[in-house]
Structure 1
Amino acid sequence: MAVSHDQFEIKFRLSDGSDIGPKSFPPATSIATLKQSILAQWPKDNKYGPRTVKDVKLISAGKILENNKTVGECQSPLCDLPGAVTTMHVVVQPPTADNEKKVAGEAKQNKCVCVIL
């Protein structure tokens, strides 16, 4: 996150290798706000896009960023390079509610019953 006039220059790398940005954000911007920005700019032709902010995980400098943190709190030592653009990786979590229901249903069907006489 390059510091330029109290702004961080960030681009978001998607799993297909394409980028969103770069765009400037003030240090007080929350990670949740970054995720909302990603949702608004998500490529419309990408059928596996996130539905909500909860579906998006941001990774910077090898760490998953928490929604309640700010961009300024999440900066790494590499962010102080003048003119540099920080790349954050975007991971989209697949919907889990349907998968959990299937797993729970399978667990009920695959019961093992032992009787000791």
Structure 2
Amino acid sequence: MSGGDLIDLKFRLFDGTDIGPNKYNPATTVGALKESILTRWPVGKEISPKSINDMKLINAGRILENTQTLEESRVPAGELPGSVITMHVVVRLPPDKNNEKQLASASTTNRCSCAIL
């Protein structure tokens, strides 16, 4: 991958909407991409991340690490001129204390007692 090639990326959110496309340098880190996504997150979404740690970027079935660059993550650049690579954004919010208590009580009260013979 040559240093002059920029990578066209767009980010697909959980509801099918997209952020982008924009051009990025192969030396851009995944953490920097997440910062960019966070600042451009659409207003009014039911679920929205509060930090980059609440997001996961997935490309070609792999979860990308924050410290890796696009080049280290093997994101193809310049293979198909004019093509845009779509990365999927998964939002995983930290568990809420109230939700944790509800899940803990639900897991102890709702038990299945099936027997397969």
- Relative to the length of structure 1, the TM-score reads 0.77
Mapped partners of 1:48, 1:104: distance in 2: 20
Instruction: Summarize the alignment of residues 1-80 of structure 1 with structure 2, pairs less than 5 Å apart.
Output: 5-76=4-75, 80=79
Question: Residues 5 and 78 of structure 2 are in contact (CA less than 8 Å); yes or no, is this contact kept in structure 1?
Answer: no
Q: What residue is the counterpart of 1:90 in the other structure?
A: 89
Q: Secondary structure at the match of 2:53?
A: helix
CA distance in 1, matches of 2:27, 2:88: 20
**Aligned equivalent of 1:81:** 80
Gaps in structure 2 of 5+ consecutive residues? 110-117
The Cα offsets for residues 32-61 of structure 1, whole Å up to 9 and x where unpaired, read as 000000000000111311111000000000
Q: SS state of the match for residue 68, structure 1?
A: coil
Alignment of 1:106-117 (within 5 A): 106=105
Percentage of identical aligned residues? 46
**Contact 1:79–1:86, Cα closer than 8 Å, also in 2:** no
TM-score (norm 2): 0.77
Q: Which amino acid aligns with 2:10?
A: K
Aligned alpha-carbon RMSD (Å) = 2.6
SS in 2 for 1:87: strand
Q: How many residues align?
A: 107
Determine if contact 2:29/2:66 at 8 Å carries over to the other structure. Answer: yes
